Structure 1
Amino acid sequence: MKSFFKLLLTTILSAFCISFVAEAAIVINDYTMPKDLPEKYKSSLFSVLVEGEVIDTYKVGLNAWNNEVACCEFSSVDSVGITVTTNFSFSSARILPRDADIQCIINGNHLTFTMPFPQNVTIVFDEDFHGNTLHIFAQQQKNNTIKKNDDNIIYFGPGYYDYSSLPPLQIESGKILYLDAGAVLRGRVLISDATDVKICGHGIILDDFTTSDEYDSVALTLKNSNHVTIQDITILRNAASWSAFMWKCGNISVNNVKIINPKYACSDGFDIGNSHNVTFNHMFIRSCDDSIAIKGTGNYGYNVAENPAITQANYAISVYNTQVWCDTNNALGIGAETVAAYYDNIQFKNIDILYNYDDLTYPDQFKERSALNICALNATNISNITYEDIRLEKGKQLISVTMPNDFWFGSMKGNWNWNGSFSRITYRNIVSYSDGSNVIQLFGRDSRHTVSDILFDNIKVNGSIIDLDSPLFKTNKYTKRVRFCRNGIITQEKNGPFGANVHNAALEFSEGYQGRNQWFYRTWTNGIGNENMIWNSDGSYHWRGSHNYDAIWMYNNTLYIHPDTDQSMLEWEAPYAGTVQIDGNVRKYSTLGGDGVTVSIWKNNTLVWPQDGWRTIPYNDNVGLSYDFAFDVSRGDILSFRVDEGGDNAYDTTIWDANIVYNSYRSY
C-alpha cells in the first residue's frame, strides 16, 4: 500500500512539473555565433538577454547617417522577457511595429519588455530613425529533421564559412541548400536554369563585398528558374548593390526570410524582374534603396508590346504579412525599370512600412518617390494592382504613380515610343501615422499614357480620411476615373480627366505659344517692366529674352531658367478664383562656377515667398530651396516665379519644379 501511495504521489508531482514546464517560457538559443566569426561582425553597441540567456547580436553595418544597424535571432515557443542594454545613452525607446503594442520599461541604458509570441520587432531610440537601431527576430521553434548525409542536400552546420573569394555557390535542380542555425556563409548563392530547388534552414548568408567577376554581385540570385522555395534564412548584406534578385522565374515561394542591407545606396532588398507566380510571406526587409521592387529588366531596346517572349511579363505576384524599412527610394514599388510585356495581378497585403525616406544626398528633390510607388520609365500596361491593409509609421510621400522620362539625373533613360497605360489600381485600408508630406499623386503622361480606374477605400492620414478635396491629393489632366470609398461604399467619384485643378510648369510647358495652359515666359527689366520672351525655334527651342543668355526651356521633363542682366520670369495666370497650393523646389543646375542666383515668388506685385525677401542659392547648391504654402487668388491674378543673377550671369542655369494646385475654386 505504501508503494502505491508513493507511486501515486510521484505521478501527481510529475504531472504538476510537466504542467509547470509547459507554462514556463522556453528559449532555444541555437543561433550562437561561430567562434571564429571576425570581430567586425559583432555588435558592441547592443547586448540582449532573453529570459536571462545571452543572445548574440550581429553588427550588420552603418546606415547612411553612419549609425549602427544590428540584429539578433532566437527561437521561442511562448511569451518571453527581453532585456536590451546599450553602450550609448537614450531617453526614450519605441518598439515597432505599432500594432504589436509592446511597451518597454527604461532604466538607464537598459530597456525591458515582454514579447507575447514569436515575431519580428525593431527598437528605435529617441525617435531617431536615422540613429542606432536594433532588429530582433524571434522565431518559432525550428524543425531540424534534415538528413545531413543525403546526396541532394548541401549542408552547412554551425560555423563560419568564407567563400568570398569564390564564384557563387550554385544550387542545381533537385538540390537543397540547408544552412543550419549558427551557420554563417560569407559568399553568394546562385540558382540558374534550375527547377525544384530549396534554400532553407535558420543560418545566415553574409555578403559585405562586391566582385568584378562574370557573376552578379548579389547575395542571392535566381535566374531562369522554376519551382524554387526559400525559407527561414537571413541575408546580411553590407554593400552598395542589390541584396536578392530573381529574373525570368516562375513559381517562387519566399517565406520568413530576413534581409538587411543598410549601405547607401543601390542596396535594394529583394527585386523581382520579369517573373510570375511569386509569393512573399512573413518577410522582414531593411534596405537603403527599394525594399521590394518589381522591375522589368528584360532586354532593353525591345518594344515590350511586340516582344512579350523577350520582355517577359510580371504577373501573379503577392507580398503578404511583411515588414519593410527603406532608408532611400521606395518601400513597395513597381519600376522604375519597366521593360516587361505587362504587369498584372500584383498585390501587397498586411504590410508594416516602418520607415521610408527619399534620399540622403538629395532630399525632397525626387518627387516620384513614395512609400507605395509605381514609377514607370518604359511604356507598358500595368493593371490590377492592389495595396491593402498597409500601415506607414514614418515616411515622406505616401502614394505616387508617375511616368517620367528618366531617373537619377538622366542616368537611366526611359522609352515612351509605344503605348502603355496604368489602370485598375486599388488602395484599401491604408493608414499613415507619419509626420511627412503624405502626398498622394497620380500623374499620367499624355493622351496615350494615362492613369485610370483608381480606387481609394479608407485612406487615413493621422486620423483623417482622405478624399478628392484633400490638399494631399494631386493629379493631372491625364488621370481619369478616380473613386473614393469608405468601407466599400462610393463617397466620391470623378470620371475626369482631371486638369483644371492642377498645373505643373514642366508638364504644361508650351513651345511657341504664350499663355497656353495659363503659362507665360517673360523678363523684367528695371525701368522697363515686363516683356514677353520670344520663342526661338532655330534648333535651341528656348524662350529667349532681349539679352544673350536670358532663357526658359524644358529638357527631359525638367524646366530650366537662366537670367541675364534682367530677371527671367515663369508666370501663371489664375483662370479661376479660389485657394491654390504652391509647392516645388528651386536649385542650381550648373555648379561649376559663378556666384549663384537669387529667387522669389510674387503674386501680382507682392512678394509672397520668401517672406523675408529674395533668397540666394549659392553657385554649388544643387539641393536648393523647397516651399509649400497656400493663399487665395482672384481670376486673372499673376503668380511669378523669378530668377535673377548675382554679380554676374556665369553658370546661372537654374532648375525650377513649380506646381500649382487648386484646393478649391469657383469657375467665374
Structure 2
Amino acid sequence: MGLLSILRRFSITLVATATLLGLTVLAPWGAAPASAATVVTYPAPPGAPTTGQYAVSVGGRSSPVHPTGLGAFTNFSFGGGPVAVTVTTSKDSPTAVLRPRDAAVRVTRLAPRTFRFTIPVPGSYSFEIDPDTDTYPPLFLFANPLEVGAPTGNTPTTRYVGPGVWTVDGAGQIVPGASGPGGTYAVPPGTRLYLAGGAILRGKIRIGADSESGPGADGTAVTGRGIVDSTAVIDHGRPLRINNSTGVTIDGPIFLGQKHWGVVSRRSAQVTLRNIKVINWRDDDGTGTPDGIDVVASRNVEVDGVFVRSYDDGIAIKSSMSDGAWAGSTSQIYVHDSVVFNGRAGNALEIGRETGAPITGVSYENIDVIHKLARSDPYARDAISIFVRDGGDVSDINYRDIRVEECQERYLGFEVTGSGSLTGVDVDDVVFAGPPRALPTVVAGNPNGLLDDVDFRGLRFNGGSTLITSPSQLAFVTNAYATGVTFGP
C-alpha cells in the first residue's frame, strides 16, 4: 500500500470514528475546502525561462512554469489542508491524468484546455494529457511542505541565496545576474547553502574535493526551494557532487542537468537526500549518460521523498564510477517514498552495473515508477534492475511496496555477468500495471558468478489483480546458474 493510500484510509477512519463520538472534524483528504490550505508560490525572477505550454494556479495563486528538456515544472509549498490546482494547457485533450496513480487524484476537465484537481498532501506529481510524453511533455508539480525556520539572510554558517538569478563565477563565488557560463560553488565544511524559493543558481555545487584523495566537507547542507541549473555550465551537467564527506543533508532544491550524472554521493557517509527534485536530460547533441541520483561507494545514505526524471538511470546504487574510479564498498542505503519517471537509456531502480566492490543492505520501499520508457532496442533495460558486472558481491537487497505504472522494457532483471555474486534478494508487494507475459522477467547467473536466494512474495501484475506464485505465469528467463529462486503469496 502506498503512502498516500495509507493517509487517505487513515483520515477516512478518523472522520467516521469522530462522527460517532459527536465531534467536529475536517473532511477526509481530497474533500476539505481548498481555502483551508496555506499556499506559497515562487514568482519567476526577471530573465528566468518560462513556458507557454502550461499555466498553473494553486489555491488561486499563479505559480510560474519553467521548461526543461524532459517536461515543464512548477514549484510551490502548501500545508494545513488539501489545495486546489487549475492547469491550462496549450493543447486540448478530452482527458488528463495525475500520476502517481496511487495518489488517487481525479482530474476534472472544466473547459477546453482547462483542468482542475485537488492535491491532498505535499509530494511530486506528473500531470499528463498525452500518453506520448515525448510529443507533449508532462507538467511536473513539485508540491513541497511549508518551510519551517527558513533563514532570511547570511550568517557565519549560512550562505543565503535569495530570489533572483545568480551565477557561480569563475572564482567559485555566487554573484547576482546571469553573466558567464557558470562555475562550481564549494560548500565549506560545517556550513549550509540556502536557496530561497524563486532563486535560480546557474552553476554546480560541490561538497568535498573532486579528487579521490582530497578532503571532504563534513557537516554541510544544501536546503531551500530554489533551483540549481547546471545546464548553464560549459559541460552541462553534474549539478551536485558529494565527495568524501560525512553528515550531509540535501533538502528541498530542484537540480537541472544535461549529459552527465545528476546528484552523486561518492565515498560519503550519513548522507540524507530529502525532497529533492532532479531532472536530467541528454546534451544538445543527443549524447550523455544523464542519471538522476547515483550513490557510489557510500554508506548510511537515506533517499527520502525525492522525484527523478532522467533519460538514463533513475536512482542507482554502485560501488565505483563507470571508469572504476572512486571504488569502495556500499552499504545501508535506504530509498523510500519517492517517484521516478525513467527515460529510454537506463533502469528506473538500479543496483550496478559498476560492482567492483561489495554492495550490501540496500532497500527500495514505497516507490512509484510512473514510466519506464524504451529506446529502439527494447528488452535491454529494466524497471527494477540488479546487474553484477564486476567482481563485487551484492547481498541483502530488499524491494517492498513498489508500483510500476508504465513499463516499455523488461519488468525486472537480476543478472550476474561478472565474477561477483548476488545473494539474498527479497521482493515483496511489487505491482506492475501490465500483463505478466508482455515483457521479460530475467533472473540469471553465469559459470563464474553465483546468483542464489531470490524470494518473490506478493508479486502482482495487471494492476494488482494477478498474483504470481509460479515462474510459469511469467515470460521468465533464467538459467542453471540461478538457484534458490522462489515465488509465493
Query: Structure 1 residue 300: deviation in Å?
Result: 5.7
Using the size of structure 1 for normalisation, the TM-score is 0.61
- Residue of structure 2 equivalent to 1:224: 244
1:203 maps onto 2:226 in alignment: yes
Alignment correspondent of 2:377 = 363
Q: How does 1:148-187 map to 2 (within 5 A)?
A: 148-163=153-168, 165-187=181-203
Give the match for residue 53 of structure 2: 45
* TM-score, reference length from structure 2: 0.83
Deviation at 1:166, TM superposition (A): 4.4
CA offset at residue 26 of structure 1? 3.2
Q: Is the 8 A contact 1:77 1:141 kept in 2?
A: no
Partners of 2:204 and 2:233 within 8 A in 1: no
User: Would the aligned equivalents of 1:77 and 1:140 in 2 still touch at CA under 8 Å?
Assistant: no
> 1:457 matched to which residue of 2?
457
Give me the whole-angstrom Cα distance separating, in 1, the residues matched to 2:151 and 2:138.
34
Q: Which one-letter code corresponds to 1:380 in the other structure? A: G
Q: What SS class does the counterpart of residue 295 from structure 2 fall into?
A: strand
Mark the CA change 1:22 to 1:82 in structure 2 (over 3 Å): closer, same or farther. closer
Q: How does 1:131-146 map to 2 (within 5 A)?
A: 131-146=136-151
Residue 323 of structure 1 pairs with residue 327 of structure 2: no
User: CA RMSD of the aligned region, Å?
Assistant: 2.3
2:35 pairs with 5, 24, 33, which one?
A: 24
Equivalent pair of 2:181/2:232 in contact (CA under 8 Å): no
How far does residue 334 in structure 1 lie from its aligned partner after superposition?
1.0
Out of 298, 301, 314, the residue aligned to residue 291 of structure 1 is 314
Cα deviations across residues 294-340 of structure 1 (Å, max 9, x unaligned)? 122269679xxxxxxx731011001010000001210000112222x
Distance in 1 (CA, whole Å) between partners of 2:256 and 2:80 is 25
Question: Residue 208 of structure 1: SS of its match in structure 2?
Answer: helix
Residue 45 of structure 1 and its aligned partner are, at CA, apart by 0.3
Distance 2:434 2:444 in 1: 23
SS at match of 2:73: strand
CA contact (8 A) 1:234 1:257 kept: yes
- The 2-side partners of 1:73 and 1:247 are apart by 30
| Counterpart pick for 2:355 among 338, 355, 366 | 338
How far off its partner does 1:22 sit? 10
Write the deviation string for residues 564-617 of structure 1: whole angstroms up to 9, x where unpaired: xxxxxxxxxxxxxxxxxxxxxxxxxxxxxxxxxxxxxxxxxxxxxxxxxxxxxx
Per-residue CA deviations over 1:414-471 (Å, capped at 9, x if unaligned) read xx4xx4211001111000013693421111011x312110000010010211222223
State the distance in 2 between where 1:300 and 1:86 align: 44
Deviation of the 1:82 alpha carbon: 1.1
Contact 1:242–1:266 (CA<8 Å) still a contact in 2?
yes
Q: Which one-letter code corresponds to 2:366 in the other structure?
A: N
Q: Which among 37, 42, 60 is matched to residue 68 of structure 2?
A: 60
Shift, 1:141, TM fit: 1.5
Larger Cα Rg: Structure 1 or Structure 2? 1
Q: Cα distance 1:210–1:203, how it changes in 2: closer, same or farther (>3 A)?
A: closer
Q: Secondary structure at the match of 2:354?
A: strand
- The number of aligned residues is 429
Give the secondary-structure state (helix, strand or coil) at the position aligned to 2:382.
Answer: coil
Report 1:419-430 matches (<5 A). 419-430=419-430
CA 1:24 to 1:83, structure 2 compared with 1: closer, same or farther past 3 Å? closer
Other-structure match for 1:408? none
Question: 1:376: which partner in 2?
Answer: 388
CA distance in 2, matches of 1:247, 1:85: 42
- Are the equivalent residues in 1 in contact too, given 2:320–2:328 (CA < 8 A)? no
Larger deviation: 216-225 or 344-353?
Answer: 216-225
Secondary structure, counterpart of 1:469 in structure 2: helix
- Cα distance between partner residues in 1 of 2:94 and 2:154: 52
| Aligned partners of 2:413 and 2:442 also within 8 Å | yes
- Asked if 2 retains the 8 angstrom alpha-carbon contact of 1:299 and 1:311, the reply is no
Task: Note if contact 1:275-1:313 (Cα within 8 Å) is conserved in structure 2.
Answer: yes
Moved over 6 A (4+): none
Cα distance in 2 for partners of 1:301, 1:111 equals 49
Alignment partner, residue 579 of structure 1? none
Q: Is the 8 A contact 2:167 2:183 kept in 1?
A: no
User: Could you tell me whether the CA contact under 8 Å between 1:383 and 1:425 is conserved in 2?
Assistant: yes
Question: Does the CA-based 8 Å contact 2:33-2:82 persist in structure 1?
Answer: no
SS in 1 for 2:36: coil
Q: Deviations over 1:489-521 (max 9, x none)?
A: xxxxxxxxxxxxxxxxxxxxxxxxxxxxxxxxx
Which residues of structure 1 form unaligned runs of 5+? 1-18, 303-309, 405-415, 487-668
1:162 touches 1:187 (CA, 8 Å); kept in 2?
Answer: yes
Q: Does 1:256 align with 2:275?
A: yes
How far off its partner does 1:197 sit? 0.4
Q: Which has the higher contact order (CA 8 A, sep 6+)?
A: 2
Paired letter, 2:239: A
Counterpart among 81, 84, 103 of residue 106 in structure 2 = 103
> 1:368–1:402: 8 Å Cα contact kept in structure 2?
no
